[in-house]
Structure 1
Amino acid sequence: MEKFRIAVRKFEPFETTLKKLWETFSAENNLSIEVEMIPLELHDLYEETLAKKGLQNGDWDIAHINTDWIFDAAKAKAVENLSPLIAHNPPHNFPEGWHKSLLHLQEINNDVFGLPFHDGPECLIYRKDLFENSLEKETFKNQFGYELQPPKTWEQFTQIAEFFNRPEKDLYGCVFANYPDGHNMVFDFCLQLWTRGGSLLDINNQISINKPEAVKALDFYRNIVNNKKTTHPRSKDFGSVEAGMAFATAEAAMAINWFGFASMCEVIEASKVKGKVDIAELPHDENHKSASLNVYWLYTIGSGSKHKALAYKFLQYATTPESDKLLTNEGGIGCRKSTWNDVEINKTIPYYHKLSMLHENALTLPQTPVWPKVAELIDHMVLKAINGTAPSKELLEETQNNIQKII
């Protein structure tokens, strides 16, 4: 029997949202086709949809694809160009319903290759209850000579993490996601670089990471990750989901992670920090400004799908204001402005409206077909840095040489 197949990024809020959406969509449209939704970890999702050409050969009708991969996917003709469908029958309030920063990465040569599904730029997530505790504030000020508040600089971040690091109470100063999956450590490196005034590109718009700001970035990052006085000891095993869960189960005072993991703290059952969380912009170097990273998830249609009309109809349904709000209530991050400003949502997640502030500072990764390969090299470099002793300058030189080979 023919099936309608969806490749889902493995994360419980995504899985429950899609299940609920398909059930109502199927009932409303009186569908008899059987659906198969397969949750896949990041690496497996990339393998199944793009590396093994699953989207081209009809294995998948719909797939969650993140914006890191969309340039690659469009170039390989793996995903359907949605522009003709949008021109004929646009999704509800398209494009005005979304912030402009959620529309441009999937637009390649004026064609649109996906619709925004889940978002939430990187930010500082912190335990508001600890930061606002009068005894903690007094002790901190006596120790460091300044007020306890969300850190503005990386030096303050380290001091505050050390202050709150209490392993005997299963509480650590901060938590990172250092599992080498080609994403988390790459993003962390970029954020460290940008918040020190660095860039991934040189004046000719070519990827160039061998620069003084990158040495500072890598030095700081490898030190903090290995600092037993500040950092959750299981950070090296954690992907972003696991690091997010560690924060939600009250194991860390601060985290640098996607906004979605802050909002998750208010809606999932396992959370021990409901009502105790807030977000702020990322710390930065003394003489530079904060930055954020915007990588988001898209709904895409496989170019080899035999059910393209049905797939597009479902995409329209899955991106309505109601569906977007449902995703948020399940623990994901809605992409529509209507969800960000929703009164009920902001009652549950009091910092939800801050999404637009994060987007103003959000940078994106270079749009080039070689980016996935470059990301792999950077991932490997950061892993070498945190697990070894080779100087950062040496590691950056070596990585840049390898990047040159693929450019």
Structure 2
Amino acid sequence: MNSSDTNNRNVRKLRLISREFAGFEASFGVQAEHFEKLSGWRVEREFEEIHKLYDRMVTSREALSGAHDLFLCVTDWLPEAIREGLLLPLDRFLQEDPPEGWPDAWAPSMRGLQTGEDGRIYGIAYHDGPEMFIYRSDLFTDGEERLAFAREYGYPLDVPATWKQFVDVAKFFTRPEQGMYGAVTASFPDGHNNVYDFLIHLWSRGGHLLTPDGKAAFQHEAGREALQFLVDLIHKHRVVPPEALEMDSVRSGDYFAQGGAAMMWNWAGFAAVADMPHMSKITGKVRTGLIPKGDGPQGRHMSLNIYWILGIAAGSRNPEAAYRFIKETASAEMDKATSLCGGNGTRLSTWRDEEVRRQFPYYEHIERVHQQVNSPPPIPEYPAMNEVLSHMVNDALRLKKDVASALDQAAKQIDDILAHRRA
């Protein structure tokens, strides 16, 4: 046995599993290198497609196996993960050795969803959305485009405030012969953006997912308008590329960054991707704003508050070292690194940092967006509900079912899921 084999066997290792995303791979790379220099612990990193990540870590309970020390977990999964004992509570660590500035260095919206019904804290926010409206500013400010739009639609070209205006602008910029569509959506049925798109449209029209007593409420007028709108973008207005049905949030963000669409609503991190010269053809031409609202009296600008937390897998053999990595990664320096690598840091200091804002102007809007957000219900049954909603949206988008039938069937299934909770 040579000396390198012996050294490799003696290296102390943490094992981290995350959703696959170039921004996460880059930021965890920086943070792992920093932590190894600081502590001597090597952080081995694995990146998995989002659906498979849930199936492995939550459904198959791999978080208990000892194969991983650190688990990047989205807040949608947390109630189930907490109920099933898949994450370790951090309260003892936070009391004895809190991260820099804890807890006031984070906005309240970045601290609530990782707190269980038992009052204990199961992770620290690592990557924030939020979903924002993202658009090509060069197209909106072009003089000829502005004149042509005003002639065709009778009002000035501007960032759309309502969904009706969004359709007008999307139609105007849809030019398939030039490789350009008015918009791009993330419509792949991965239970992620296809569901979140429906929720944003539902909420922006004043609708609700559930009634106060925990029954389906999304199958009524606002829900019908929301789902029909998503179907019509692809099949009626044809302002979205047909291949959007196979795009998740990452692929749709890449499509936008390559100049294929004028607008999208997506996670703010994809505005960062579109401003990175080595990843984008439209660097310096990207701006963000509020997501459009419904056109009726109940219309409101809404975004989605979910985020990714870094927690300790319950089967970790190195929980003390795992917490040290979480604490160090939550520092102002390392949180800023998350943003500079293409993710979204979660500390107020990162959101307000001048260097970050110069590179990614959308950070100027994040705190404002967080004033108008909603979240999926923080209950253990939500992942099962989410799967129903994902099938509902996919059936409608692929014209397997009409909108009303898809909504009604999903509402009945969700009522059945929640009936067990009430029993």
- Give the alignment's TM-score, normalised by structure 2: 0.93
Q: Distance in 2 between matches of 1:130 and 1:293?
A: 27
Structure 2 residue 15 is matched with structure 1 residue 5: yes
Residue identity matched to 1:158: V
Q: 271, 284, 288: which one pairs with 1:262?
A: 271
Runs (4+) of structure 1 exceeding 4 A deviation are none
Q: 246, 250, 257: which one pairs with 1:241?
A: 250
The residue that corresponds to 2:303 in the other structure is: 292
Q: Distance in 2 between matches of 1:116 and 1:278?
A: 25
Q: 355, 358, 364: which one pairs with 2:366?
A: 355
Q: 90, 98, 112: which one pairs with 2:98?
A: 90
User: 1:344: how far off?
Assistant: 0.9
Q: 187, 191, 208: which one pairs with 1:199?
A: 208
1:85-131 Cα deviation digits (max 9, x unpaired): 10111111011111110110001132100100001211111001100
- Give the alignment's TM-score, normalised by structure 1: 0.97
Q: Distance in 2 between matches of 1:150 and 1:169?
A: 22
Q: 52, 55, 59: which one pairs with 2:63?
A: 55
> Would the aligned equivalents of 2:328 and 2:334 in 1 still touch at CA under 8 Å?
yes
Q: Distance in 2 between matches of 1:255 and 1:40?
A: 25
**Aligned-partner SS, 1:266:** coil
The residue that corresponds to 2:26 in the other structure is: 16
**Aligned-partner SS, 1:126:** strand
- The 5 Å alignment of 1:200-349 reads 200-227=209-236, 229-267=238-276, 269-286=278-295, 287=297, 288-349=299-360
Q: Distance in 1 between matches of 2:273 and 2:175?
A: 24
Q: 144, 161, 174: which one pairs with 1:165?
A: 174
Q: Distance in 2 between matches of 1:114 and 1:268?
A: 33
User: 1:349: how far off?
Assistant: 1.4
**Aligned-partner SS, 2:61:** coil
Unmatched 5+ residue regions in structure 2? 1-8, 419-423
> Would the aligned equivalents of 1:191 and 1:293 in 2 still touch at CA under 8 Å?
yes
Q: 40, 50, 73: which one pairs with 1:42?
A: 50
Q: Distance in 1 between matches of 2:276 and 2:344?
A: 11
Q: Distance in 1 between matches of 2:213 and 2:115?
A: 23
The residue that corresponds to 1:377 in the other structure is: 388
User: 1:363: how far off?
Assistant: 0.7
Distance verdict in 2 for CA 1:206–1:273, change over 3 Å: same
**Aligned-partner SS, 2:361:** coil
Aligned length: 405
User: 1:77: how far off?
Assistant: 0.6
> Would the aligned equivalents of 1:267 and 1:330 in 2 still touch at CA under 8 Å?
no
Cα RMSD between the aligned structures?
A: 1.3
Q: Distance in 2 between matches of 1:270 and 1:260?
A: 13
Q: Distance in 2 between matches of 1:35 and 1:352?
A: 29
Q: 64, 67, 88: which one pairs with 2:72?
A: 64
Residue identity matched to 2:45: M
User: 1:270: how far off?
Assistant: 1.8
Q: Distance in 1 between matches of 2:200 and 2:40?
A: 47
> Would the aligned equivalents of 2:268 and 2:362 in 1 still touch at CA under 8 Å?
no
User: 1:321: how far off?
Assistant: 0.6
**Aligned-partner SS, 1:250:** coil
> Would the aligned equivalents of 1:181 and 1:379 in 2 still touch at CA under 8 Å?
yes
Residue identity matched to 2:85: K
Q: Distance in 1 between matches of 2:282 and 2:260?
A: 10
1:147-176 Cα deviation digits (max 9, x unpaired): 111111111111100100111111110000
Unmatched 5+ residue regions in structure 1? none
Residue identity matched to 1:105: L
The residue that corresponds to 1:402 in the other structure is: 413
**Aligned-partner SS, 1:117:** strand
> Would the aligned equivalents of 1:121 and 1:294 in 2 still touch at CA under 8 Å?
yes
The residue that corresponds to 1:151 in the other structure is: 160
Q: Distance in 2 between matches of 1:256 and 1:225?
A: 15
**Aligned-partner SS, 1:395:** helix
> Would the aligned equivalents of 1:268 and 1:330 in 2 still touch at CA under 8 Å?
no
Q: Distance in 1 between matches of 2:238 and 2:219?
A: 30
Q: Distance in 1 between matches of 2:361 and 2:249?
A: 22
Q: Distance in 1 between matches of 2:57 and 2:46?
A: 12
Q: Distance in 1 between matches of 2:40 and 2:206?
A: 55
User: 1:390: how far off?
Assistant: 3.3
Which is further off, 57-66 or 44-53? 44-53
Structure 2 residue 39 is matched with structure 1 residue 29: yes
Q: Distance in 1 between matches of 2:403 and 2:239?
A: 21
**Aligned-partner SS, 1:299:** strand
1:310-352 Cα deviation digits (max 9, x unpaired): 0000001111111011111111111111011111111111221
Which is further off, 376-385 or 261-270? 261-270
Percentage identity across paired residues of the two chains: 34
Which is further off, 293-302 or 204-213? 204-213
